[in-house]
Amino acid sequence: MWLARGRHAEGAAEDVLRRSLEERKRSRAIDDFLELPRTVAEIEAGAEAEAAPAERVFEARWRVDETVTVRARIGVTPGPDGGQEWMLVAEAEQPWNDDWPSPAALFWPEEPDVAWDRDGAAELSLRKINPLPHDDKETRRLFRNAVRGGWHIHVVVHEAMTTDELGRLPVARWLPPGLRHRVVEHRAAPQQHRGLNWALRDLGVQVPRGGAAVLPGRPAPDGYEAEDFSVRAVFLDGSEPTDLVDAVRRYAALPRPLPDGAEDALTALREDWHLLNLEEELERQRGLVAMYAEALEAMTKSRDLYREAAERAHEALVAYQESAEAAPERQRPSDTPVTSPLQQLTRTFERFKGKGQRPVAPSRDEG
């Protein structure tokens, strides 16, 4: 699976998504997409509160490696300050390959002026370099908040010297497509090296001068050792930082728990999927037919049981009437157990009742 979340800073995110998905469908980058309609409850709630709906949901599907189907779902909800939070989950028929296209790039437009790529927790960019604050305490607070939740991979790069234009390009451009929108790149200026490592003490990480490090989440994934994800030198001259790319890829492959809130989104993708192709729709209809047939069979069995109960009750009633008419006037001996027709009728019902449910333990008063 592939997971990401972020914040759309301005405008209506659903309009941006709709236009982008229509363009992706025309270019055949995706097979199809669907915007889920608002429910009656959402419309009424929105009208009463004079507010936007709680969530807007889009589904899309496409193929990778020509035959592997990917299904993806994005939900957009209003944020606290006028922006909109989004959460995207995608799942393929085979184990995910980071060389496949980024689902975020298929839902959102690639234009740099469309502000969908913000990390909502710490207001960081997913596509640009994030310079560290000048204040060391603020940097420490930034890292502490950024690594929570486990949604993004945070990379810190220290500049050994002031960089030129090539050095100010994001390192993420060298990553495989499936990782580019899951990585947040922090950049420390040459004079910030000491303050940077002081801010990272709580995470147990140190960045070499002119090097880089992949930060652990909280909690750190199994198999994470700070030394294994520290890079001694990153040359910011436009050449590919192969050691850093390798460290990011190895970190992404570590087993990690689902990020906060991802479980519900993944469940919705698997159990509340609407964008079906013809084969899936036929399979769904077959499942419904089987379910209805099973329900009908259960109803038929229930009807037969009620019919059997009625017949037995009628037989017991007839037996009661016949025995009552033929009963002698004289009293039976006191030591002979008496079984009245009414008791026979009651026992008949109890035998039938025992077929459909477990016996109930007698109360203390019943003896």
**pLDDT value, residue 164:** 83
**pLDDT value, residue 50:** 47
Give the tokens for residue 272.
């509340």
Whether 307 has a pLDDT exceeding 50, the answer reads: yes
Whether 295 has a pLDDT exceeding 80, the answer reads: no
Segment 218-225 mean pLDDT: 86
Whether 120 has a pLDDT exceeding 70, the answer reads: no
Question: pTM for this one?
Answer: 0.73
The DSSP element (H or E) to which 315 belongs, if any, is: helix 278-326
- Tell me how far apart the alpha carbons of residues 20 and 180 are, in angstroms, rounded to a whole number: 19
CA 286 to chain centre: 27
CATH architecture under which domain 1-116 falls: 2-Layer Sandwich (3.30)
Greatest extent of the chain over all pairs of C-alpha atoms, in Å: 121
Quick one: which of 124, 116, 170 has its CA closest to 146? 124
Whether 267 has a pLDDT exceeding 90, the answer reads: yes
**pLDDT value, residue 329:** 52
**pLDDT value, residue 258:** 87
Segment 170-199 mean pLDDT: 93
Whether 186 has a pLDDT exceeding 50, the answer reads: yes
Quick one: which of 187, 226, 184 has its CA closest to 210? 187
Question: Same topology for domains 1-116 and 122-257, yes or no?
Answer: no
Categorize the per-residue pLDDT at 20 as very low, low, confident or very high, splitting at 50, 70 and 90: very high
Q: Which residue has the higher pLDDT, 105 or 46?
A: 105
Number of Cβ within 10 Å of residue 258's Cβ equals: 14
Residue type, 237: D
Please provide residue 230's backbone torsions phi and psi, each rounded to the nearest 5 degrees.
-110, 135
Q: Is 209 helix (H, G, I), strand (E, B) or coil?
A: coil
- C-alpha pair distances (Å), 251 with each of 125, 167, 225, 260: 20, 24, 10, 19
Segment 322-337 mean pLDDT: 57
Hey, which of 80-89, 96-105, 142-151 has the most confident mean pLDDT? 96-105
Cβ within 8 Å of residue 186, ≥6 positions away: 124, 129, 130, 131, 132, 143, 154, 155, 156, 157
- C-alpha pair distances (Å), 166 with each of 162, 172, 232, 236: 11, 13, 20, 7
Segment 150-178 mean pLDDT: 89
The DSSP element (H or E) to which 41 belongs, if any, is: helix 40-49
Categorize the per-residue pLDDT at 165 as very low, low, confident or very high, splitting at 50, 70 and 90: confident
Mean pLDDT for the chain overall: 82
300 burial type by CB count under 10 A (0-12 exposed, 13-18 middle, 19+ buried): exposed
For residue 219, whether the previous peptide bond is cis, meaning omega lies within 30 degrees of 0, is yes
Whether 229 has a pLDDT exceeding 50, the answer reads: yes
Hey, where are the domains in the chain? 1-116, 122-257, 290-322+340-352
Residue type, 151: W
Q: Pick the range with the lowest mean pLDDT from 3-7, 205-209, 215-219, 222-226.
A: 215-219
Quick one: which of 219, 214, 248, 91 has its CA closest to 149? 219
- C-alpha pair distances (Å), 109 with each of 7, 8, 14, 74, 261: 14, 12, 12, 14, 25
Q: Pick the range with the lowest mean pLDDT from 39-43, 152-156, 188-192.
A: 39-43
Quick one: which of 227, 75, 216, 88 has its CA closest to 148? 216
**pLDDT value, residue 12:** 83
- Tell me how far apart the alpha carbons of residues 223 and 23 are, in angstroms, rounded to a whole number: 41
Segment 126-145 mean pLDDT: 92
Q: Using one digit for the tens of pLDDT, what is the confidence trace for 42-53?
A: 554 554 444 445
**CATH 3.40.30, domain 122-257, yes or no:** yes
